[in-house]
Amino acid sequence: MDIPEYNPSLYEVVDKMGSGSYGSVYKVRVKSTGELAALKTIEMEEGESMDDALTEIQVLRDCDSPYVTRYLNCYRQGFDKLYVVMELCEIGSITSLMSKLSLPGLPEPTIAYVIMGTLQGLRYLHGQHKMHRDIKGGNVLVNKKGEVKLADFGITAMLNATWGRRNTFIGSPYWMAPEMLTADSYDKMVDIWATGITAIELAEGKPPLSQYKWQDAIRKIPSLPPPTLKEPTKWSPEFRDFLTLCLKMNPKERADIPVLLEHPFIARKHAPLGPHHLLPLIAKLG
C-alpha cells in the first residue's frame, strides 16, 4: 500500500478533540472540499512495523458500513508517524457524551439503541473476518444525527499486539474477555463479552471492577463469576437476560450476534430503536 507523505496544507485544524497513548485526534476541515473530518496521529514505537500498520489501514479502507466510521485517507511522516483521516462523529464517544452531561448512566431504551448499533457494526466486521478487540463506550461514536458507529479497530488493536506498549493491551483491561487473559488464542466472541461489559458501563457509568487498578482487575476477571448489574431490580428481566447471554465464561456458550439482535431487549422490549433515543441528550450539549 503506497502512502503519501503528509502535507499539512491539505487540512485546516479546527480543534483538538483528544489525545491518548498513540497521539492526538483533531477536528479538521478538508480544504479542497470544506468537509469536516477527524485526523488521528499515530506515533510508531521501536519494534512496531509500519508495513503491518499499513496492512491494517488497508482493511479500514475497505470497510463499508453505516455502523463503522468511514476511512477517508492516510499519510505518513517518515517511518514513525501515521496520519489517518476518518469520518467525523461530532458528538464524540458515548462515554464522552455521558461525561459532558454528568450522567451516572443511561436509560435502558437508550442503552438498547447504542448496543444495537454496536452489534450491527460488529456483524459487519465479523462478516469481513475481522475482530474489533476493543469494544467499550469510548470506541462507540455518535454523530450529530444520533447515529452510532464503531471506531478504533484494526490499527489500534494491531499496535497493541503485546502486553506492554505504554502499559496497555490488546483492548482495554476492564472490558477484556477471560480467554484473552488465560488462553493461547481467542476468537470473535471476545467482542461479545466486551459488548456485555459496555452495556453495564452505559447503565452504571463505569465497567465492572473499575474500582480496582487494572493490574488487579486482570487477575480477577478470569477467576470471578461473570459480572452483573449492581442493582438488578432497577432493570428489566430482558436486559438482565441479554447480559447473561453475552457474559458467559466459556466463549462457546455466548450468544452470537444474530441471536442477540433478535433478543427481546433489542428487538421487542424497546422497539422501535433509533436516533430519537440520543437526540434529546445531544440537544442538551447546546
Residue positions annotated with a catalytic role:
134
Query: What are φ and ψ of residue 157, in 5° steps?
Result: -65, -40
CB 38 within 8 A of CB 26: yes
For residue 123, which of 10, 257, 267, 27 has the smallest C-alpha distance?
257
Burial class of residue 198 in the structure, from the number of CB atoms within 10 Å of its CB (0-12 exposed, 13-18 middle, 19+ buried): buried
Query: What are φ and ψ of residue 24, in 5° steps?
Result: -135, 160
CB 131 within 8 A of CB 191: yes
CB 169 within 8 A of CB 163: yes
Amino acid at 93: S
